[in-house]
Chain A
Amino acid sequence: MSGPSTYVPKSAIGRWFESRLPLGGLVHSSFIAYPVPRNLNYMWTFGAILSFMLVAQIVTGVVLAMHFIPSSTQAFASVDNIMRNVNYGWLIRYLHSNGASLFFFACYIHMARALYYGSFKPPRELLWIIGVIIYVLMMATAFFGYVLPWGGMSFAGATVITNLTSAIPVVGNTIAHWLWGGFAVGGPTLTRFFALHYLVPFIIAAFVGLHVWALHVGGQNNPDGVEVKDVQRDTVAFTPYATIKDGFGLSVFLILYCWLVFYIPNYLLDADNSVPANPLVTPSHVVPEWYLLPFYAMLRAIPNKLWGVIILLAAIVVLAFIPWLDRSPVKSAKYRPSYRFFFWIFIAICIGLGYLGSQEPTEGLAIIARILTFGYFAFFLIIMPVLSFTEKTKPIPTSIADAVLTRTKTAVAAAE
């Protein structure tokens, strides 16, 4: 897929520019002439959707940053000012807060797609690992951002998560105080979180660049898990085929975004965050935003503080090892019936953990949470390696073109 560009600009100015900085050639070879497997389904549009959401979050975020005041005495009021007084401030704020949720929603579908179709397998291991890094950076950004409005839940969430560092033996408390800029979460914490919240999305953007680059070296995976053999038969050019498909996928996603922002903008908002932060008052239910709930459930399931933190970190770090845990030569779950079964159990476990994360931790629920946490790790550490060797897979198609043709043949035969 990579190689010298075939782009020749039509205008003299274009040629002048191209010989000095081949941006046109880069865009042409990456997003116009770039070959894309012809059997991709709509699960492959989420990369474009995520890129759009990143830009949307950065744009709305920068505009918000022009009005937001990162001081513990003025933060809450400055957000209220944005909502009431700034022209369309309410819109920009709702776009940003709901955009974060949709960013994670698209990200989870994107990751699930990779797990289902084996997009993390050779030669895409680094692509997957860069993706895990982006995911971790996203979680950090979301955490910093949630603290900024300085509501009751912002404060409680900051306290809970930064207190995790104090679980580290010997140096834990020193690290916590260093992070806080004091002896507890306070004004200095808010101000530095603002600086970090502004910074990390640009680090994400850099890693997204690496992510797309790594992708374009090896080319996309596809729903049949069979690598491209014949560029003419198996692929189509990115423009117009993938461009229009991504465009349509994005427009449907935007309808969901619009529904959230304009009609249920406070649906995902925790009521306690509409109350100014008070160090002396802890909300009755401390919960993070929905996209962090599964990890929250795992953290609370373990009775020991240090082990809870270790399990939490392990739950994220284990993702990076997946290319070496799942060694099945068959990529796509379409042809792996056993793996597919366990995949959907895994999805149910994640949703179950998410639900448990939102509830009060009673004894009964804690036992269920521990079972589900075990199930989460078992999927990666037991199921994946075992299935790699013992699974009876279905026969995979000889090529992408053949896979598409057999499907259309069956469809035509069924129609007759």
Chain B
Amino acid sequence: MIRVRFSALAVAAVALVLASATAVLAQNDAEQPNPPRQSWSFSGMFGIYDKAQLQRGFQVYKEVCSTCHALSIPFRTLTEPDGPGFSEDQIRTLAATYQITNAEPNEKGEIFKRAGTPADIIPRPEAYPNDQAAAATLGKAPPDMALLAKALKFERGFPWFILDGLPGLEYQEMGADVIHGILTGYTKADDPQWNLYYPGHRIAMPQPITDGAVDYKDGTKPTLDNYSKDVAAFLSWAAEPSLPERKRVGMRVLIFLILFAVLLYYVKKRIWASAH
């Protein structure tokens, strides 16, 4: 018994040491707050994207963000039923408004531009053909938004980094929360580069969007909070277009495996009965 108590004590000692280490690290929270957790339609085991929200989010991207930020996804993905679900005609028209440099030169050997097609990738903002040009004008190159929602995470500390992976408690939408946080985090009116949630509070991008900047056609209120939510959801889709299909297939696989495991368990018990 003493042995058990002793080993429990030793494990508790190691745990205490680590807990005090976490306490030291947690003190930083006050200076660098984490963006508040929003509720998203695509969170949890059964959550999928809201088509109307994605379409509004694309509108926000196109009218506001695309001035500086690239979004390197193919036009045709905007017609995906699991995603924004625009019609093929809408996207064909949209793509045709862009001038894309053709990959191959023409018969005369000249590099030429042509109207875009749905198969093309959405081109970079014309003013910034590459990162260096963007950084020269804007101070820092605006990141490509195709995977932005996956590239933004923050430390949650113990025990959340364990709990965030458990069924029912999973937290996969950090990117969306960070995007929403940054867009609504310009809390100092006198300092355009100050952002509450950006690491170090200094962000190269001044507030890109305010109330009423984008005209919503479906009646949603044109507030900063809605714009931020919609564009964050849209960018989450852009980074993870397979999410709805992944969860659909996952549910079938999970159910199959659970049933299969239960069956195997009873077969195993049956077989091993003869060994006893």
Contact = CB atoms under 8 A, between A and B. Distances in A.
Interface of A: 38, 80, 83-85, 90-91, 94, 236, 240-241, 244-245, 247-248, 251-252, 254-255, 258-259, 261-267, 269-272, 274-275, 284, 337-338, 341, 344-345, 348-349, 352, 355-356, 359-360, 362, 364-365, 368, 408
A264 B170 contact: yes
B136 interface: no
Interface in B147-166: 147, 150-153, 158, 164-165
Contacts of B24: 362, 364
B81 interface: no
A260 B3 CA distance: 37
Contact of A80 (B147, B153, B170, B242): B147
Contact of B6 (A269, A341, A349): A341
B192 interface: no
B213 interface: no
Chain B CB within 10 Å, residue with most, of A247, A258, A349: A258
30 contacts: A83-B242, A84-B74, A85-B74, A90-B242, A91-B249, A236-B275, A244-B264, A244-B268, A244-B271, A245-B268, A248-B261, A248-B265, A254-B257, A255-B254, A255-B257, A258-B253, A259-B254, A262-B253, A265-B246, A266-B150, A267-B170, A269-B150, A274-B147, A275-B151, A337-B3, A344-B11, A345-B14, A359-B25, A365-B21, A368-B21
Given A244-B264, A274-B151, A352 B271 contact: no
Nearest to B242: A90
B45 A263 contact: yes
A262 B170 CA distance: 12
A84 B172 contact: no
Tell me what chain A mostly uses at the interface: helix, strand, loop, or mixed.
helix
A272 B15 CA distance: 29
B14 A348 contact: yes
A248 B3 contact: no
A368 B21 CA distance: 9
A348 B143 contact: no
Contacts of A248: 261, 264-265, 267-268
Contacts of A259: 167, 254
A274 B14 contact: no
Interface string B1-44: 00100110011001101100100110000000000000000000
Interface in B228-276: 239-242, 246-247, 249-251, 253-254, 257-258, 260-261, 264-265, 267-268, 271-272, 275-276
B146 interface: yes
Contacts of B152: 271
B207 interface: no
B275 to A, nearest CB: 5
Contacts of B143: 275
A34 to B, nearest CB: 15
A266 B257 contact: no
Given A241-B271, A263-B167, 17 more contacts: A80-B147, A84-B74, A90-B246, A241-B272, A244-B264, A244-B267, A245-B272, A254-B257, A258-B250, A262-B251, A264-B165, A264-B172, A274-B151, A341-B10, A348-B11, A348-B15, A356-B21
Interface residues of B, number: 56
A365 B14 CA distance: 13
B73 interface: yes
Nearest to B276: A408
B31 to A, nearest CB: 15
A362 B22 CA distance: 12
Contacts of B199: 284
B77 interface: yes
A269 B11 CA distance: 29
A241 B267 CA distance: 10
B250 A262 contact: yes
Contacts of A258: 250, 253-254, 257
A339 B247 CA distance: 45
Nearest to A345: B10
Contacts of B74: 84-85
Contacts of A261: 250
Nearest to A152: B151
